[in-house]
Every structure is written in structure tokens, then in C-alpha cells.
Amino acid sequence: MSQASAVAYANIALVKYWGKRDSALNLPAAGSLSLTLNTLRTDTMVHFDESLTHDSFELDGRESDPRKLTTWLDLVRARAKLQTRAHVVSRNAFPTASGLASSASAYAALAVAASSAAGLSLTVRELSELARRGSGSAARSIFAGFALMHAGTKADGSDAVAEPIVGADDWDLRMVIAVVGGGKVKGVSSRDAMEHCAATSPLYQAWLDCVPNDVQAARSAIDARDLAALGAITRDSAMAMHAAAMASRPPVRYWQAATLRCLDRVEELVGSGIPAYPTMDAGPHVKVLTDAAHCQEVARAIGEIPEVTEVKICAPGPAAHLLSEASD
Ligand code: PMV
């Protein structure tokens, strides 16, 4: 019997990941670049318990279907040469499966907790690879601040991992998150939507073709601490990803009327000289990249939109880490 607890924080991609080169190993078709945030937190406890006959999974206080988790835990068990089933308890400090990137913090926290509970001592690169097997974006949440995800070229996926580029304390940006429509509003999962987009969207290849340049340009903007340049890439990458998704047949559209109202409001802010750059993931919420001096004003402006049910101001966040060491 061994147990460990870990915490991880969601990240928001500035250059998006949208499409896989291998869906069994969850290998991305292109790179991506993200910012880990400090408030979107997942706490996870993993307990390998000899008395269990199957894995159990409690998410936000409710028993949940453990099938997907079991498939992922089997990777940890195989590596640790363990048969033991696990009890997993996870809690998100934000709405689950709503396009607020809960799978990123979920699998990053799981990778840290489960590997430690299983007696494995993994490098951060190995943790990133393990987290990726649960969710592509989770590979990035292993790291603090800005992280770069590599598409990799190897068939076994060992080079499809993230690496940290600029730490959480090294550039004091803000991400203002407008939660649209409450919580559980997600339609198609990102996994299904990506697959459908790759198979049917005439814009999918054009989308993939933009990514390497966007990643390079974003890296240079981060190195130069140039918010206007990074913000423009952030906005444009999200729009290109959603354009490819919307061109799928039939379309995948995450946007709601309130999403557009948020985008309009961001444009008004930009018109009055405020640095504000929108991005969106597999949900209707709008996330706005800005700086510490303007985040309150951005939050106030998008908070006035009636369908915006919550506004969060996030700063760059820490790496995934253990809360308690494994114990017997
Ligand atoms: O990690 P997944 O499989 O949930 O996919 C994430 C997809 C986006 O959030 C839309 C983009 C990204 O890079 O995080």
C-alpha cells in the first residue's frame, strides 16, 4: 500500500495544439506553447491498495467512471511492475470539462502522484511524457510558466514532451478568464473534435502549416518580453484553430453568442490602447492575455457581459509537485 498526493495547475496554450500524429500514443501533429496559470488548480491523491479489486475514481466529491483512468494507470503499473489497483481522489478548483483545461492539470497531477505512489522516481521529461498519454496539453502542465511542447519525430513518442522556457517569476503577465454560461457547457471533447477536424476539415492542413512559425515567433516574443507580439500570435493561433474546427464537416463550433460579445469587448479595449489578446479552447470561454497593470480593467469590462458568469484573473503558475511523499 502506498499513497501520494500532488498538485498541478492548468495551462492555456498561446500557440494551440490541435491534431495528433498518433492517437494511441497521443502524439501531437505539431508543437505548441503555453502558459501555466496559478489559480486553476487540481489536487489529486493516489493510493495503491492491495484490498481493491478495481480502480476507483472520485472527482470533485462524486464517484466517476474509472475506465479511462484505469487504462492510464496501467501504464504506471506496467512501468512499476505492479498489479495493485488504486483509489484516486481528485478535486478541481474550477469547472471540470468546460474548456478550462481541466484535463491538463488532471493528468499532470496524476502523473506526479501516481508515479510517486507506485515507487517510481521519474525525471520531469518522463513525467511530461506520462502526462501526455492522458491528455496532450497535460505534458505542458508539468512545468511552471511558459512551456514549449515538442511534436517529436520518434514513433514511440519519447521525444513528444514539453520543456520549460521562461519561469513563472520571469515575466509578470496575466490571463483574464471569462467563464461563459456557468460550468459544464462542453459539447464535443477536444479528442473527438481534433480527430473529426483532421479527417474532414479542408482547413486542417493549412492550420498545421501555421504552427511551426507561430511557435518560433512566440518564443522570440517571450525572449524579448514583447507582449504585443506574443499577444498577436496568441490571438491568431486561436482563431486559426477554431477556423479549422468550424470548417469540419459537420462543423465543430464551441463559440456561443457571449463568446462573440467577449471578443467585441476585447477589441474595444484594444481600441482604447489596452493590451488585450483573446484566446479560446474547446469551450465557449474567452481567455485574455494582458499585463498586471491592465488586468483589473480587462476583468471589469468582460465581467459586465451578462452571460459571463465568472471572471478569474490568473498569473503565471508553478510546476506540478508532490504535496506529500509516498507512504506505506
Ligand atoms: O489536451 P487535450 O487533448 O484536452 O487538448 C487540448 C486542446 C486545446 O485546449 C484546444 C488546445 C491546447 O493546446 O491546449
Ligand 1 neighbour 127 (Cβ under 6 A): no
- Sites in the chain below the pLDDT cut of 50: 1
CATH number at residue 21: 3.30.230.10
Q: pLDDT of 288-306, one tens digit each?
A: 999 999 999 999 999 999 9
- All three cell numbers of 148, joined, read 514549449
- pLDDT number for residue 187: 78
Residue 322 belongs to a domain: no
| Cα 136 to ligand 1 centroid, rounded to whole Å | 6
Q: In the prediction, which pLDDT does 62 show?
A: 94
- Domain span at 83: 3-169
Q: Is residue 248 in contact with ligand 1, taking CB distance under 6 Å?
A: no
Q: Are 178 and 285 in contact (CB under 8 A)?
A: yes
**Residues 39, 145: one domain?**
yes
Q: 278 and 165 in one domain?
A: no
The preferred substitution site among 279, 281, 285 for testing ligand 1, maximizing ligand atoms within 8 Å of CB, is 281
Residues 214 and 131 in one domain: no
Which atom belonging to ligand 1 lies closest to the Cα atom of 149? 13
Q: Please check whether residues 159 and 178 belong to one and the same domain.
A: no
Question: What percent of the chain is predicted at pLDDT more than 70?
Answer: 95
d(CA 240, CA 2): 45
| Domain-terminating residue out of 169, 199, 218 | 169
Domain boundary among 169, 186, 210: 169
Same-domain pairing of 163 and 95: yes
> What is the distance in A from the centroid of ligand 1 to the CA of 18?
7
Q: Is the CB of 102 under 6 A from ligand 1?
A: no
Residues 15 and 144 in one domain: yes
Distances (CA, A) of 162 to 132, 138, 225, 287, 308: 9, 9, 21, 22, 32
What pLDDT does residue 324 have?
73
Q: Where are the beta strands (DSSP E) in the chain?
A: 2-15, 20-22, 27-28, 32-48, 56-59, 62-64, 86-92, 146-149, 162-166, 173-180, 277-279, 286-291, 308-314, 321-327
In a domain, 15, yes or no: yes
Q: What is the CATH number of the domain that holds 203?
A: 3.30.70.890
Which residue, of 145, 169, 193, is where some domain finishes?
A: 169
Peptide bond preceding 212 in cis form (omega within 30 of 0): no
Q: Tell how far the Cα of 64 is from the centroid of ligand 1, in angstroms.
A: 22
Residues 138 and 225 in one domain: no
Do both 165 and 182 map to the same domain? no
Number of domains in the chain: 2
Check residue 34 and give left, alpha or beta (phi > 0: left; psi -120 to 50: alpha). beta
Span 74-118, pLDDT tens digits: 999 999 999 999 999 999 987 655 557 679 999 999 999 999 999
Q: Are residues 164 and 187 in the same domain?
A: no
Distances (CA, A) of 230 to 142, 225, 235, 302: 22, 8, 9, 21
- Domain assignment of residue 94, yes or no: yes
Residue closest via CA to ligand 1's atom 10 equals 281
Whether 153 and 210 map to the same domain: the answer is no
What is the pLDDT at residue 1? 47
**Using an 8 Å Cβ cutoff, are 88 and 58 in contact?**
yes
Ligand 1: centre distance to CA 195 (Å): 12
CA gap 108, 129 in Å, rounded = 10
